[in-house]
A and B are shown apart, each in its own frame.
Chain A
Amino acid sequence: MTEAPGAEGAKLVRMANQIAGFFRSYPEAAALEGIRAHLVSFWTPRMLQDLCAHEADPKVDALVRGVLPTLAKPR
């Protein structure tokens, strides 16, 4: 059984978009902080790095795209 290479990246985008979906109900600043804090709290550095590599992917939610620059920085 094999799976298409790069499938993991698409999953990360979907997961990040789901997180954005929850925080979308909050004012933008709070939503961005909520998404950022959630990602940093629960994702490994490599997952964050892989997500950042999808910055140009049109499937990435605008709110997620908004936090990508902050994720690239060392914590």
Chain B
Amino acid sequence: MSLITELDYGTPIRVSEQTVTLTIDGLTVSVPAGTSVMAAASHLGTQIPKLCATDSLEPFGSCRLCLVEIDGRRGTPASCTTPAENGMVVHTQNDRLARLRRGVMELYISDHPLDCLTCAANGDCELQDMAGAVGLREVRYGYGGKNHIHDAKDESNPYFTYDASKCIVCNRCVRACEEVQGTFALTIAGRGFESRVAPGNTDFFGSECVSCGACVQACPTATLTEKTVIEHGQPEHSVVTTCAYCGVGCSFKAEMQGNRVVRMTPYKHGGANAGHSCVKGRFAYGYATHKDRITKPMVRAKITDPWREVSWQEALAHAAAEFHRLQAAFGVDSIGGITSSRCTNEEAYLVQKLVRAGFGNNNVDTCARVCHSPTGYGLKVTFGTSAGTQDFASVDKADVILVIGANPTDAHPVFASRMKRRLRAGAKLIVVDPRHIDLVRSPHIQAQHHLPLRPGTNVAVLNAMAHVIVTEGLVAEQYVRERCDLADFESWARFVADPRHAPEAVEAQTGVAAAEIRGAARLYATGGNAAIYYGLGVTEHSQGSTTVMAMANLAMATGNIGREGVGINPLRGQNNVQGSCDMGSFPHELPGYRHVSDDATREMFDAVWGSKLRPEPGLRINNMLDEAVEGRFRGIYIQGEDIAQSDPNTHHVIAALEAMECVVVQDLFLNETAKYAHVFLPGSSFLEKDGTFTNAERRINLVRKVMPPMAGMADWETTVALSNALGYRMNYTHPSEIMDEIAALTPTFAGVSFKRLAEVGSVQWPCNDEAPLGTPTMHVDRFVRGSGKFMITEYIATEERTGPRFPLLLTTGRILSQYNVGAQTLRTENIRWHQQDVLEIHPFDAESRGIVEGDLVMLASRSGEIALAAHLTERVQPGVVYTTFHHAKSGTNVITTEFSDWATNCPEYKVTAVQVRPTNRLADWQEMFAENEVALKRIAPLAAAAE
């Protein structure tokens, strides 16, 4: 193994149908029109010296190192800013150019610490490389002049250091912050000799910097350097793998020293991220080796007993015996399992296989139940497949972007950067969100329409937009005629044309000005390529599935499905939530979204699995919990999900877990659910196993093992061992064999193999003989189901109503630095950005309750109450409060209710009627939580455990 180095072309690779041909140092090269001379030379393998240029950034032309001579032109133009032209004759090396470059380097080095041997960038420094490349042998100016060598370091950021003494003011960091990330947090302050990189009038930690790492990545010197590199030195080998945070699925190079990760750097050839990253994937990987990791299997008879460390064999035998006992006593259907959207496709596949073939029932579900299950349902009904329609690159061709119920800059930051780039280039933006999210107005971004709707009224707003489109004659009639079921369309058109759906008629209900809805609808229908991006603000409602169908209706009616730049794009939450669904994790579907009642499909699985699968659906998670409380569901195998923290109505979840006799938790940490478990099987992080993740754009990426599993087994191996202990044989020696089985049984995965993924980097399913390299855009000539199906989407108000006791609406979400239940990010330095969950409340609502900034307030709903610190902000509208659920001790889901989506039971996290009042104490639940943190997580000392 060696360190992977990526060729830097110096300036961005241009895409053009036209090519130009030129001669560089006597060699002829043809490149797309718009390519710089520098990049054209790179195509030939000629590296022109450079410092301010890198191919992730537009050319800048400031360092004067990349000078070339061009026949017929005067002077020595910068090759980075000079476009290649037909017939151009370029010289990149001669005595004159060498002299000029050495002169430039002398100036740089005259104000640079000559501490190369002890510098963190030693071995990875472009300044050092360029000094070598130009043959710098002396600095005629000496080193005694005015300089910056003693400038102070800014070490405030937990992950990287800004060492001003090393800065050559090349501007790459500032431009990366602007062009790549789109945050505009950095600038060059001062003039002339005083010019320095500055994150505003503060330090990095206190600034608007989002710690995406783009500046560090762009820095050619040791000015911006990862603290891990400063501590450990340069990595010696690297492995390309896939991030285990959100559904963007960024590719990273895990840069290693032996088994230690020195840093994670975004991979330029990553299909999803193209070399960009966010604070979580780039820096917050320390949880993987955190001291809280449990690396020994454990068992206990009762949840009040201390855990007892045991061998793998004993733990697995105990779990298997318990599951057998429960099935013998309470029936085959008394147990089930939950697959993880944090684990690989292969691992999710094995868990559902274990449940269906080993347990002999279909009681398997996954955390998509509580996030994007309505996406699967809604898009399958309307289009025929349970997934988004585009790749991320599609946004580059969108003219109108409608963001509804999503906060991409916080939850999907790498894709958000791409979206913002398109918006800065002129695409129009519509934001439908109760909160004033950053996208509504941020540097160089301004939404044309912000529809700050009342939580729970998505369907009413979308129907009103549809009303405008139909009644104002904005329907793409030819598209609808050719691509959609006409009878369904006509029924739908009559439905939405009814005056009760007019924007004016729903204004009071939705809280959105009719003129804004009309404007947004007209823009969406007539503004060119229109693309919808959405998140959990769509799905986590009692009408989540209806909203997904309403969006599909809009897209079909305006002809915005089936080409680049358009589509319905779910921004999926977890790294492999798409994959876990693809792998048959829902109780009614086998891998590839085929219903369990389909005899032909089931028989195919029966033959390969050597089993007799059941033809009827099994229990969803919420059904399992309900049946547990009723005493009919007694045991569960949970791989990598923390339902006690993440699922709604914590009281109910805990009651269900307490009612079970065998809860087996497989996880990295003793999470909230493990407090109620009887068997703990230590999990493995994404760094410890091979496999694949599938991201929100259906892209299947390889996950590669970079270190051995800390507990000795990868998660897939644990499932295999558990299955074998149960008596259902599994014989896999590598995850690639599992993928081969998936491909053999799943038509949309028929062309997928580890070998192909290694060859081409990634593919988007469907990947088969018809599309051997995958399918970036779906429904191109026809919908997967044949004709697109319009659905009637009546708005039905949620049963969760405000009233005198609970007059406010709570909506929940997450923030940039944290990830879901915080199990990972709170075990990293990211905790410095979010040390507690707070309640956002509008100043009007706060004032009427006598609440001031920072007050402890009691947040109460029909389900329970918790105490949080109040944060007064106009980001939320009057009548709406907002909080996150990252800290277990907050107990945010004590508040949320069991109301759920009508079709999928996805919980209605986004709408809970609440009251807020000042308090001076924690809630009872929070005090009980503190006690249980000790009582239910005890691990017996080894000597006692051996007795």
- B495 to chain A: which residues have CB within 8 Å? 25
User: A8-B626, A19-B902, A24-B794 given as contacts; is B658 within 8 A of A41 (CB)?
Assistant: no
Q: Is the CB of A21 within 8 A of B629?
A: no
Main SS class of interface, B: loop
Q: Is the CB of B655 within 8 A of A18?
A: no
CB-contact partner of A44 in B546, B617, B794, under 8 A: B617
The verdict on B453 contacting chain A, using a C-beta distance below 8 Å, is no
C-alpha gap A21/B459 in the complex (Å) = 14
User: A1-B654, A8-B626, A8-B627 given as contacts; is B617 within 8 A of A42 (CB)?
Assistant: yes
Q: Is the CB of A22 within 8 A of B626?
A: no
C-alpha gap A44/B797 in the complex (Å) = 27
CB-contact partner of A47 in B546, B623, B654, under 8 A: B623
Q: Is the CB of A41 within 8 A of B626?
A: no
Specify which of A2, A15, A18, A44 lies most central, judged by the most chain B CB atoms within 10 Å of its CB: A44
- B588 to chain A: which residues have CB within 8 Å? 41-42
Interface footprint category on A:
20 to 34
C-alpha gap A5/B903 in the complex (Å) = 25
> Which residues 48-68 in A have Cβ within 8 Å of B in the complex?
none
The verdict on A29 contacting chain B, using a C-beta distance below 8 Å, is no
C-alpha gap A15/B617 in the complex (Å) = 16
> Which residues 14-31 in A have Cβ within 8 Å of B in the complex?
14-15, 18-19, 21-22, 24-26
The verdict on B905 contacting chain A, using a C-beta distance below 8 Å, is yes
Interface string of B616-659 (1 = CB under 8 A from A): 11111001001101101000000000000000000110110010
Q: Is the CB of A25 within 8 A of B903?
A: no
The verdict on B796 contacting chain A, using a C-beta distance below 8 Å, is yes
C-alpha gap A41/B587 in the complex (Å) = 10
Q: Is the CB of B542 within 8 A of A11?
A: no
- B179 to chain A: which residues have CB within 8 Å? none
Q: Is the CB of B651 within 8 A of A38?
A: no
Q: Is the CB of B902 within 8 A of A1?
A: no
C-alpha gap A7/B595 in the complex (Å) = 29
C-alpha gap A75/B597 in the complex (Å) = 10
Q: Is the CB of B902 within 8 A of A26?
A: no
Interface footprint category on B:
35 or more
- A19 to chain B: which residues have CB within 8 Å? 902-903
Q: Is the CB of A11 within 8 A of B619?
A: no
- A73 to chain B: which residues have CB within 8 Å? none
Interface string of B790-830 (1 = CB under 8 A from A): 00101010010000000000000000000000000000000
C-alpha gap A30/B617 in the complex (Å) = 23
Q: Is the CB of B902 within 8 A of A21?
A: yes
C-alpha gap A22/B333 in the complex (Å) = 30
User: A3-B629, A11-B626, A44-B623 given as contacts; is B903 within 8 A of A22 (CB)?
Assistant: yes
Main SS class of interface, A: helix
Interface string of B575-608 (1 = CB under 8 A from A): 0000000000001100000010100000000000
The verdict on B898 contacting chain A, using a C-beta distance below 8 Å, is yes
Q: Is the CB of B629 within 8 A of A45?
A: no
Closest CB in chain B relative to A31 CB, distance in Å? 10
- B799 to chain A: which residues have CB within 8 Å? 14
Q: Is the CB of A44 within 8 A of B629?
A: no
C-alpha gap A22/B550 in the complex (Å) = 12
C-alpha gap A54/B242 in the complex (Å) = 49
C-alpha gap A18/B798 in the complex (Å) = 10
Interface string of B703-730 (1 = CB under 8 A from A): 0000000000000000000000000000
User: A7-B629, A22-B546, A25-B495 given as contacts; is B903 within 8 A of A44 (CB)?
Assistant: no
User: A19-B902, A21-B796, A22-B902 given as contacts; is B630 within 8 A of A44 (CB)?
Assistant: no
- B652 to chain A: which residues have CB within 8 Å? 3
- A47 to chain B: which residues have CB within 8 Å? 619, 623
> Which residues 876-932 in B have Cβ within 8 Å of A in the complex?
898, 900, 902-905
Q: Is the CB of B902 within 8 A of A44?
A: no
CB-contact partner of B794 in A14, A15, A25, A41, under 8 A: A25
Q: Is the CB of B333 within 8 A of A46?
A: yes
Q: Is the CB of A44 within 8 A of B619?
A: yes
- A26 to chain B: which residues have CB within 8 Å? 792
Closest CB in chain A relative to B50 CB, distance in Å? 59
CB-contact partner of B630 in A5, A15, A18, A25, under 8 A: A5
Q: Is the CB of B794 within 8 A of A22?
A: yes
7 nearest A-B pairs in the assembled complex, by CB-CB distance: A18-B902, A1-B655, A25-B792, A8-B626, A25-B794, A3-B629, A8-B630
Listed A/B pairs (16) with beta-carbon separation below 8 Å: A1-B655, A3-B629, A8-B626, A8-B627, A8-B630, A18-B542, A19-B903, A22-B546, A22-B902, A24-B794, A25-B495, A25-B792, A42-B617, A42-B903, A44-B619, A47-B619
Please list the residues of chain A having a beta carbon within 8 angstroms of any beta carbon in chain B. Answer: 1-3, 5, 7-8, 11, 14-15, 18-19, 21-22, 24-26, 38, 41-47, 75
- Excluding A41-B588, A44-B618, 5 further A-B contacts by CB distance (< 8 Å) are A1-B651, A3-B655, A41-B597, A42-B904, A46-B333
